[in-house]
Amino acid sequence: MTPVNTVSEILWPPKFLEAMRSAQHWVVFTGAGVSAESGIPTFRDALTGLWSNFDPEDLATTEAFLRDPDLVWGWYEWRRAKVLKVAPNPAHQAIAELARHVPRLTLITQNVDDLHERAGSPSVLHLHGSLHHPRCMRCAKALDPPQPLDTSQGEQLLAPPVCVDCGGLIRPGVVWFGEMLPEQALTQAFEAAAQCDLLLSVGTSGVVYPAAQIPQLAARSGAWVIHINPQNLALGSEREFQLTGAAGALLPLLVQQVLAD
């Protein structure tokens, strides 16, 4: 794969350039590939040391938490501490910059790290929740996260906090296997995809449902869809286009093109 270094090296279809500059409502849909460029391990890659003895699905279910809350809470706090030590990358920053210049932008993410917010994106629809927004297992009250685990001490079992209102255990604020995606966020995501003029799908393979429906909804509604991914994807519409490469390299070039006179 030859790296793309300048806007002129990208073979933009003329119709896409026109659509990109005239679009009134953009949707940006991001997946794990964006976070990976900041150095965040993917979900399965995060299983090292103590955690390497476990299948990730054994650590990411309600049943696992009820069976061994110290194990599950410790793993998620270890992950959160790791996330807090990395910075948003140029892809996150380019999306935030794009939002400041286009008429309307809806940002939808499958990531749980809040790097979009840290890059300056003001409003994000989280389909899989957030590591930084724990809630009570019993009454669902949202709580501020505690101080994260000191990862210099290595992976540790850690007892979860207790809700001051009802005494229930505090659980990580992410969507676990077997749980439904948050209804409000998913509804808003589907509505935005069906109403947008142009959708960017960044760092996601688009094979996990129901989130995979988001680019499909946009394409079926007549929007242009551009995929930014290191791997070639199957395109199902004449209005779909792919830029093959790293999001941190390509998204700033795309923003440069949008803002070009």
Q: Is 256 known to sit in a ligand binding site?
A: no
**128 among known catalytic residues:** yes
Q: Is 196 known to sit in a ligand binding site?
A: no
Q: Which of 128, 132, 133, 227 is catalytic?
A: 128
Q: Is 197 known to sit in a ligand binding site?
A: no
Q: Is 70 known to sit in a ligand binding site?
A: no
Q: Which residue has the tokens 């989280």?
A: 126
Q: Is 178 known to sit in a ligand binding site?
A: no
Q: Is 201 known to sit in a ligand binding site?
A: no
Q: Is 209 known to sit in a ligand binding site?
A: no
Q: Is 83 known to sit in a ligand binding site?
A: no
Binding residues for Zn(2+): 136, 139, 163, 166
Annotated binding site: 76, 79, 110-113, 136, 139, 163, 166, 203-205, 229-231, 247
Summarize the annotated binding site for NAD(+) as residue ranges. 110-113, 203-205, 229-231, 247
| Sequence ranges of the binding site for substrate | 76, 79
**Which residues are part of the catalytic machinery?**
128
